[in-house]
Amino acid sequence: MKPRGKEGAGQTEENGKGSDSDQTKDNRKGSGSDGMEEEENSAGVNQAENTREESEETKKDYIKWVEFHVTCEAMKKAYQYDLDTYGKDQHLNWVELLAILGAKYGGDFSRYKEEDLDDVAEVLMKGEKTLKELTAGMEYYPYYREAYGAVLNGMVGAYEAAGRKVYGLKAFHPIAKGFPYRDYDDFGVSRTYGYRRNHLGHDMMGQVGTPVIAVESGYVAELGWNQYGGWRVGINSFDGQRYYYYAHLRQDRPYAEGLEKGDVVQAGDVIGYIGRTGYSKEENVNNIDEYHLHFGLQLIFDESQRDGNNEIWVSLYELVRFLYQHQSEVKRDDSTKEWMRVEEIKDPSALQYEKENKDRRKNNQG
């Protein structure tokens, strides 16, 4: 049986799905239980071992819990190996490298040593062992490969920029280039508005009107008011495994002009602006103390996890640090006061999604 995670990720402060009642039982993430932080900080080996429980209700075998504690430094090193070996006989996949370390450390990257990654990469690059041979004795490698892949799979790959074919980091930092912000590792801290719960996102404090950027290409699944998240945007990845959540957007003009539910966005697009809306049943109210972006990432291994008490949200502090190397440069249109990206990209996944949608519509009409 494939390793799977513990059930019950708990509810988030503001998942931004559905109607105004998104939070609590309505549509929110998690249970808001006080035991959440203890679960979050459990050792990685126990995390994987606890994945063995089979759901008696569904008999489905899928991951039910993920703790993402991979450090920025480990991601940078693994990504560099991926980049440097692209097009060579032994192309190293950065997610596979991180999953090997995840299995070695039991998910605890406080144990990370650069030489551990170097040793793995050297064995693979020299052809001393294949990936299958290297991971044959790692009981939990398949779990970490799937779990870490759910977070990172859409972030590195081929795309076009300025008419050139490029391979590399195609995900972007959630704050536009040149705009200051501050943050800290706040995942799991307590929130009390409406009901007691844990904060299952990452807050990035910035100036009002700072452009908010789509981290990964996807389609707009949610857009509008939520009493907890205020004006918010929810974007699904094309593979259906990631739901990106951007909340507390600006009063009066929260979104990029023309953005609508169902729209396809490319990684690096401006999707909205930092504000402090939310914590109000009345729309368009500033009731948050400080201007900031609430940035969240939900993982979905089964559609039953999309809403309810079994949702999986991961810590993003280290990932945001990693993405800082790739910020979207923007320019302002003085006539509309809107910000837009300077350099357009063409993400093959977005083009494929649009083509498939077009074909489906054509078939339905036929």
For the domain that residue 235 is a member of, what is the CATH number? Answer: 2.70.70.10
- State pTM to two decimals: 0.85
Of 1, 69, 98, 4, which Cα lies nearest the Cα of 302?
4
Is the distance from CB of 47 to CB of 29 less than 8 angstroms?
no
Q: Which of 37-46, 129-138, 180-189 has the highest mean pLDDT?
A: 129-138
Q: For residue 302, which of 9, 46, 67, 102 has the smallest C-alpha distance? A: 9
Q: Please say if the pLDDT value at position 196 is more than 80.
A: no
Whether residue 348 contacts residue 233, with contact meaning beta carbons closer than 8 Å, is answered with no
Greater confidence, 7 or 276? 276
Mean of pLDDT values over 281-306: 97
Round to whole Å and give the CA distance between 178 and 330.
Answer: 9
Q: Is 319 among the domain residues?
A: no
Percentage, residues of the chain above pLDDT 90: 75
Q: Is the pLDDT of residue 220 over 90?
A: yes
The DSSP line for 78-122 is HHHHHHHHTTSSSPPPHHHHHHHHHHHHTT-GGG--HHHHHHHHH
Residue 58 — very low, low, confident or very high, per pLDDT cuts 50/70/90? Answer: very low
Asked if the structure places residue 119 within a domain, the reply is no
The reported pLDDT for the residue numbered 187 is 85
Query: CA 325, CA 201: separation in Å to the nearest integer?
Result: 21
> Do the domain assignments include residue 261?
yes
pLDDT at 341 over 80: yes
Kindly indicate the confidence band of residue 360, based on its pLDDT and cuts at 50, 70 and 90. Answer: confident
User: How many independent structural domains does the chain possess?
Assistant: 1
Residue 248 maps to a domain: yes
Distance CA 150, CA 17 (A): 20
* Residue 123 included in any domain: no
Residue 20 banded pLDDT, cuts 50, 70, 90: very low
Residue 206 has pLDDT above 50, yes or no: yes
- Cα–Cα distances in Å, from 35 out to 6, 7, 9, 161? 13, 13, 11, 46
Q: Provide the pLDDT for residue 192.
A: 56
Tokens 């093959």 correspond to 348
For residue 56, the model assigns a pLDDT of 45
* 17 three-class SS: coil
pLDDT (average), residues 224-239: 97
Residue 35 lies in a domain: no
**Is position 171 within any domain?**
no
- Write the single-letter amino acid at 134: L
Number of Cβ atoms within 10 Å of the Cβ of 204 = 24
Average the pLDDT over 129-156 and give the result.
Answer: 98
307 within domain boundaries:
no
Please say if the pLDDT value at position 3 is more than 50: no
Residue 261's pLDDT band (boundaries 50, 70, 90)? very high
Range of the domain at 281: 181-297+330-357
Question: What would the mean pLDDT of 294-316 be, rounded to a whole number?
Answer: 96
What phi, psi does 89 have (nearest 5°)? -60, -40
Round the average pLDDT of the chain to a whole number and report it: 86
Q: Stretch 168-193: mean pLDDT, rounded?
A: 89
